[in-house]
Structure 1
Amino acid sequence: MKQLKFILLAIMLFMAGTCYSWDRTRHDAIAYIAECNLTPKAKKNIAKYLEYSIVYYASFMDKYRNTPEYCNIEHVAYVDADMRHIDKPRKGKTDCVTELMRAIDRLKDYKNMSDSLVRLNLMYLIHIAGDMHCPAHVKYPGVKSGRAEVNGTKMSYHAAWDWGILQAAHGWSYTEYGQILDNLSKKQQAAICRGTPQEWLHQTALDCRVIYDWQREDGVYDKQFVLDTYLLAERQLIKAAYRLAAVLNDLFG
């Protein structure tokens, strides 16, 4: 009961804090599109453990990432020279792909878990499935990013791909992302969702390595740059959403 109360308190407070990956709007969009593609059975079963829409919990881990309970999880994933996942984060840490797989494995037995533990792993899954698809959250050997100014707003180049470029391109709300982008056929969705988290990361690493070729020495990224590049981040967002839905449907549907 004490554990449940702690988690409920965390949920009540999670609106405070600063985002470090996809920002709140983009995480909300991923969760919203995923929720729109849940089966009725999955939605009903998940509702036994979460009081609100999964959108409500989409940014939970960013709000508490520096607390003792969650600070061991890195919200990035590491790849080797062949773009393959390596579980080699900093000492004492686990990366987002490893933690996602752990959460999935735990939730396979959710009927025999406590409600609070199911809730916690659901919040892990909802958030980290988004993080692992963010273009700047793949860490390549020897590749670094610097500062950036996106359409006049100063930030890190990492943040540019977390939110800056998409915000400059659209400025959509999370529901608008769903209304506009959630238009793939079931066959197209199934093609996106084939594979494992490690295979999804491999494809993300291949697709997103180009952002470092696009990095500019002066760090200035104008409106034309935004228009030329934002589709990459947009595609990653929709892949994250459909894959999150597929995992939740498989576990709870």
Structure 2
Amino acid sequence: MKSVKSIYILLGFLITFSTVNATTPDWGATGHRTVGKIAEGYLKGKTKRKIAELLDGQSLALVSTFGDDIKSDKRYREFYTWHYVNMSFDVSYQDSEKNPNGDLVTGIKKCQEIILDENSSKDDKAFYLKLLVHFIGDLHQPMHVGRAEDKGGNTVQVQWFDNGTNLHSVWDSKMIEYYNMTFTELAENSDEISKEQVKFLQKGTLEDWVNETQSFAIKAYGSAEVGENLRYKYMYDNFGLVRSQLQKGGIRLAKVLNELFS
């Protein structure tokens, strides 16, 4: 009986450990769909028509999780490093050491290139459009511009309301799940901003946006200690930034798409 009990304890430990260290989806499905839904509200008519044609009527919210959906398929391994940028916190993206396999910036630019190529097939354009929607969302998740040594916070162990998790997961999905709104509700309840504010948020290059997100990554890393039990106060202090980044991601995604299809 003692040996059987020991086995159960060991199994429980292994299950907990594997769950805590699992790499979580980027922004989570709700976050990505929120970005897609917000973007739809800022698209020009011509852009909407061309996107509808390429995606056979599917919404940006629906296809926004495509980049994560294909992760389990070994045929698409080449796209894995396109979900993030790892760089030292004391340098800008422009001065950072680049991943030879590509990163968020090079991945987004490749998607744009294929969509703009007149020789690309409709299927290829649709495939890379879905990836583009996903990657613009990733670009605005602070932990996707995190440190290489801890895999963007994936190995920074914390607790979320007494349950083991990691810092990456907290920013990907835990806070969004705790807020308990659907992606439609999150999009519809985004902060009201003026046309001038929208133009201001859409300024800059991809590299500028990455550098901005890195500043939020530094804040996120400093927001919790290893092993800390994050609860109501953490949510109060940090969920405003999550909402802001989701809205900003949607507004900037619309800019990228309008430029591609105008």
State the TM-score, normalized to the length of structure 2.
0.82
- Cα distance in 2, alignment partners of residues 87 and 48 from structure 1: 39
- Cα distance in 1, alignment partners of residues 205 and 131 from structure 2: 17
Give the partner amino acid of 2:132.
L
**Deviation larger for 28-37 or 133-142:** 133-142
Equivalent positions of 1:46-195 (< 5 A) are 46-51=51-56, 52-73=58-79, 74=81, 75-80=83-88, 81-85=90-94, 86=96, 88-89=98-99, 93-109=101-117, 111-140=118-147, 145=153, 146-168=156-178, 170-181=179-190, 183-195=192-204
What is the Cα deviation at residue 39 of structure 1? 0.8
2:48 aligned residue: 43
Identity among equivalent positions (%) equals 27
- Where 1:113 maps in the other structure, the secondary structure is coil
What is the Cα deviation at residue 96 of structure 1? 1.8
Give the partner amino acid of 1:100.
I
What is the Cα deviation at residue 180 of structure 1? 0.7
What is the Cα deviation at residue 143 of structure 1? 6.0
Give the partner amino acid of 2:115.
L
Contact 2:157 2:226 in 1 (8 A): no
Structure 1 201/83 Cα, relative in aligned 2: closer, same or farther at 3 Å? same
What is the Cα deviation at residue 87 of structure 1? 5.9
1:238 paired to 2:247: yes
What is the Cα deviation at residue 48 of structure 1? 1.0
What is the Cα deviation at residue 65 of structure 1? 1.6
Contact 1:83 1:202 in 2 (8 A): yes
2:19 aligned residue: none
2:29 aligned residue: 24
- Where 1:94 maps in the other structure, the secondary structure is coil
- Cα distance in 1, alignment partners of residues 228 and 172 from structure 2: 16
- Cα distance in 1, alignment partners of residues 226 and 191 from structure 2: 36
Structure 1 141/26 Cα, relative in aligned 2: closer, same or farther at 3 Å? closer
What is the Cα deviation at residue 126 of structure 1? 0.6
- Cα distance in 1, alignment partners of residues 226 and 36 from structure 2: 35
What is the Cα deviation at residue 159 of structure 1? 0.4
* Cα deviations by residue, 1:100-123 (Å, 9 ceiling, x for unpaired): 1111122223x4421111101101
- Cα distance in 2, alignment partners of residues 113 and 70 from structure 1: 19
- Cα distance in 1, alignment partners of residues 110 and 97 from structure 2: 13
Give ranges in structure 2 of 5+ residues lacking alignment: 1-22
Contact 2:31 2:183 in 1 (8 A): yes
What is the Cα deviation at residue 177 of structure 1? 1.2
What is the Cα deviation at residue 219 of structure 1? 2.5
What is the Cα deviation at residue 84 of structure 1? 2.1
Contact 2:108 2:132 in 1 (8 A): yes
- Where 2:140 maps in the other structure, the secondary structure is coil
What is the Cα deviation at residue 19 of structure 1? 5.4
1:5 aligned residue: none
State the TM-score, normalized to the length of structure 1.
0.85
Give the partner amino acid of 1:98.
T
Task: Pick the aligned partner of 1:217 from 223, 226, 229.
Answer: 226
**Deviation larger for 178-187 or 50-59:** 178-187
What is the Cα deviation at residue 141 of structure 1? 6.2
What is the Cα deviation at residue 154 of structure 1? 2.7
